[in-house]
């Protein structure tokens, strides 16, 4: 399964023009105050006259789009589809009694594993008397605005636990070498720059600096491209070029998995998606690739010793990348290697991390005295020459890693054990 995931990434590695989006709109967090009377009710919006044959519902006190989606579409998470057909409602957080809503026909809903959170409506909405804390309107006096003119919250209050409605749940396997975070939050190295044909082109909460689990976004593919409600995608981002720490040659480009997104509603050429899992900030313009379940290889005891370990004749390589802005890593961290499927390694393989060194360590006074005694000389220049000659020392063992995923020439691995810090450029060798 691991190879399949990266294979998908390579298959989608197609050039794409740079994408940018700008918006001046900022979603307000308080109700609109520019209410006006339209027909027999008050509203800040300009509701159009529904076209003949449209399925129309007139909002009544206490309604919200979440409940209407549950009632008419059998899923509260499909509320964006109702809003898409009624964009005269400029702020999606407020709807008003008396305004008409066009209700969409039956749709395919997301998978049953996505469950709505346990929520309660805010007590602030729907009170009959007193002063509105957002608008300052005294609803107990005759000001031309009654409680029917007040907006209704689009969504109930969030789950007190903070868990997004579509959050994916995972069971921990004690025998697995990697946990969900290791698999989800790591990345991989591709040999060339790339852009997916699928990407995020807009966000529901456009004023937010970044998107995270629970947020709703829009992708550039839809029904005509084979996208279905319930489909999942990885949100990925190409971050930087990776150079080999020893040779200086280009290894490739680091691509990081940022999140998992699931399709809520599908239109002809677009789809509404929700982030159901993530470990990094998501931004408009990030790429999407098909999702496949990642499974961890099993951990095992390799019996690796710290001292006296020699060359076993197996394939060797290097740690070439540690992740953005990391100088050193240790046990539990993710590293990237210059060995891959073409080198005969596989997911689940263990490799030792080591250094073959020649020492130029400066001796202390006792060491200098030893050099003088050996050469029967006290000449300082002789001491300098000798201590810069360099002597080989035994292989210095650093730790061991296990391969979690790979391409042809590179691999993603986890540090299972380390005796000291691991640096980019450290050597690796496949264990038996």
Name the residue ranges covered by the structural domains of the chain: 2-20+165-290, 31-107+121-155, 316-357+393-430
pLDDT above 90 as % of the chain:
43
CATH architecture, domain 2-20+165-290: Beta Barrel (2.40)
For residue range 122-147, list pLDDT tens digits in order. 333 333 333 333 333 333 333 333 43
Architecture of domain 316-357+393-430: Beta Barrel (2.40)
What is the secondary structure of 315-348 as a DSSP string? -EEEEEE-STT-S-B-TT-EEEES--GGGT--TT
Identify the residue with better confidence: 386 or 66. 66
Cβ atoms of 10 and 276 within 8 Å: the answer is: no
Confidence of residue 271 (pLDDT cuts 50, 70, 90): very high
Strands, DSSP E only, in 62-181? 94-95, 100-102, 152-153
- Which among 80, 102, 84 has a CA at the least distance from the CA of 165? 80
Dihedral pair phi/psi, residue 108, rounded to 5°: -80, 130
What number of helices (H) and strands (E) belong to the chain? Answer: 6, 21
Residue 194 has pLDDT above 70, yes or no: yes
pTM exceeds cut of 0.75: no
Residues 336 and 239 sit within 8 Å (Cβ to Cβ)? no
User: pLDDT tens across 347-388, in order?
Assistant: 999 999 999 876 666 666 776 676 667 666 655 555 555 555
Q: Cα(402)–Cα(345) distance, rounded to whole angstroms?
A: 11
Contact 107, 182 (CB under 8 A): no
Residues near 232 by beta carbon (within 8 Å), at least 6 away in sequence:
260, 261, 262, 263, 276, 291
Asked, colleague to colleague, whether 2-20+165-290 and 316-357+393-430 share their fold, the answer is: no
pLDDT confidence tier of residue 35, bands split at 50, 70 and 90? confident
β-pair partners for 358: 392
Handedness of CA 252, 258, 264, 270 (dihedral sign): negative
Three-state DSSP class for 7? Answer: helix
Residue carrying structure tokens 């995270």: 212
Report residue 17's pLDDT band, with 50, 70 and 90 as the boundaries: very low
């Amino acid at each position: 399964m691991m190879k399949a995931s990266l294979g998908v990434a390579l298959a989608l590695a197609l050039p794409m023009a740079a994408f940018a989006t700008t918006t001046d709109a900022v979603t307000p967090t308080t109700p609109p105050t520019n209410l006006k009377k339209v027909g027999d009710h008050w509203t800040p919006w300009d509701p159009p006259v529904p076209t003949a044959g449209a399925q129309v519902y007139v909002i009544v006190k206490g309604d919200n789009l979440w409940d209407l989606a549950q009632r008419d579409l059998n899923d509260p998470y499909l509320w964006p589809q109702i809003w898409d057909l009624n964009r005269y409602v400029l702020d999606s957080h407020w709807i008003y009694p008396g305004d008409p809503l066009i209700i969409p026909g039956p749709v395919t809903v997301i998978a049953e594993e996505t469950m709505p959170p346990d929520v309660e409506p805010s007590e602030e909405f729907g009170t009959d008397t007193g002063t509105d804390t957002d608008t300052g309107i005294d609803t107990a006096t005759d000001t031309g605005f009654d409680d029917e003119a007040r907006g209704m919250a689009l969504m109930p209050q969030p789950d007190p636990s903070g868990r997004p409605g579509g959050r994916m749940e995972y069971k921990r396997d004690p025998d697995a070498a990697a946990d969900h975070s290791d698999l989800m939050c790591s990345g991989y190295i591709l040999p060339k720059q790339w852009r997916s044909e699928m990407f995020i082109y807009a966000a529901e909460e456009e004023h937010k600096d970044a998107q995270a689990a629970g947020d709703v976004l829009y992708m550039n593919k839809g029904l005509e491209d084979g996208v279905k409600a319930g489909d999942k995608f990885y949100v990925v981002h190409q971050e930087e070029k990776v150079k080999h720490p020893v040779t200086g040659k280009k290894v490739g480009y680091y691509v990081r998995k940022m999140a998992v997104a699931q399709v809520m509603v599908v239109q002809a050429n677009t789809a509404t998606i929700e982030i159901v899992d993530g470990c990094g900030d998501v931004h408009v313009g990030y790429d999407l690739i098909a999702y496949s379940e990642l499974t961890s290889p099993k951990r095992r005891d390799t019996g690796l010793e710290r001292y006296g370990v020699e060359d076993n004749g197996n394939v060797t390589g290097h740690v070439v990348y540690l992740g953005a802005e990391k100088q050193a890593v240790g046990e539990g961290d993710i590293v990237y290697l210059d060995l891959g499927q073409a080198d005969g390694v596989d997911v689940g393989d263990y490799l030792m991390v080591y250094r073959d060194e020649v020492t130029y360590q400066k001796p202390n006074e006792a060491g200098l005295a030893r050099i003088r005694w050996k050469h029967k000389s006290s000449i300082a220049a002789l001491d300098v020459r000798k201590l810069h000659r360099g002597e080989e020392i035994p292989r210095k063992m650093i730790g061991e890693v296990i391969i979690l995923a790979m391409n042809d020439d590179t691999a993603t691995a986890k540090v299972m054990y380390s005796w000291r810090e691991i640096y980019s450029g450290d050597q690796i060798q496949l264990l038996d």
